[in-house]
Amino acid sequence: MSVGKMTGPKKAAILLLALGEDGAADVMKNLEEAEIQQVGYYMSRFTDVSPEELDIVLEEFYRNSVMADEGVNISSSPDFVKNALTKALGADRAKELSDNLGAGEEEAGLEALRYAEPIMIANYIRTEHPQTIALILSYLKNAEQSSAVLRDLPESLQADILYRMAVIESIPPGVISEMNEVLTEEMKTAGSMATSVGGVEPVAEILNSVDKATETRILSSIEETNPDLAEQIRELMFTFEDMALIDAKQMQLVMKDVDQADMVLALKTASDAVKELIFGSMSSRAAEMVRE
């Protein structure tokens, strides 16, 4: 293992292994889910880390070794990762993440991409056909990661890629196998059933994660090709700020079913226009209570 060529998540995985289950759990409680998935992926695959490798990683992060001179041999096991995740997230969520990480020593190329840095994915796939890129982004099933990859791809391809994603319904197993060969990784099959990917929902999630200018440009391009599809995507992209487009009578109907505590929390980040619209649909007494 070459420490110099390690990514951040790999180095973080070594540190968490050195901390032990309880220490790793304490750290994981403060990580985002995507970060836990990345680090957990590498933790579950390290078979042995030498004292020298551990010292190099510690020195990079802490500028001096915090271990004894003789170093510490550390290694991972499925139980280590499972127990750390359970202590950090609870049994149910830990099981779900552990299942996603997989127990095999080798991962299919597409599965491995889910834990790669977006810029690495973009650099790897940018020369592929837009349909292939669309299939890969669909398979990631993480809107934040997919949108980050999309931003690093040429603007001239972005609308075409999302359009192709929106009209995908499933990928036959044979196509998945071919894609994994292109990615030069072995595929971990999940049976003969077609894999459900793509569609307007992930496209809407991705567009909700990009900046407004990119969203407008891509939706306009899709609308030129398929107006109905663009409208479906827009409907799924409805956000809290879109409430400013609702008329007063409709807003009053909506407000009847909204818990006041939830509304107070939601209004903390709402624009002034949305706040005024919502307050205007309430009684004076209710609006004053929410303001307080």
What's the pLDDT score for residue 139?
79
Residue 153 has pLDDT above 90, yes or no: yes
Judge whether 139 and 171 are in contact, CB under 8 Å: yes
Q: Which of 20-34, 58-72, 140-154, 241-255 shows the highest mean pLDDT?
A: 140-154
The residues that bridge with 195 in the sheet, in sequence order, are: 171
Provide the token pair at 268.
Answer: 């903390």
- The pTM (predicted TM-score) of the whole model is 0.39
What's the pLDDT score for residue 73?
45
Provide the token pair at 129.
Answer: 């056909």
Q: How many residues does the chain have?
A: 292
Higher pLDDT, 240 or 139: 139
Provide the token pair at 44.
Answer: 């579950």
Q: Please, what are the domains in the chain?
A: 3-105 (no CATH), 110-236 (1.10.220.30), 240-291 (1.10.220.30)
Share of the chain above pLDDT 70, in %: 67
Give the confidence band of 160 by pLDDT, cuts at 50, 70, 90: very high
- What is the phi/psi pair of residue 74, to 5°? -130, 150
> Looking only at Cα atoms, what is the longest distance across the chain?
73
Residue 280 has pLDDT above 60, yes or no: yes
Judge whether 75 and 53 are in contact, CB under 8 Å: no
What's the pLDDT score for residue 150?
92
Residue 135 has pLDDT above 80, yes or no: yes
Mean pLDDT of 254-259: 74
Provide the token pair at 188.
Answer: 């971990």
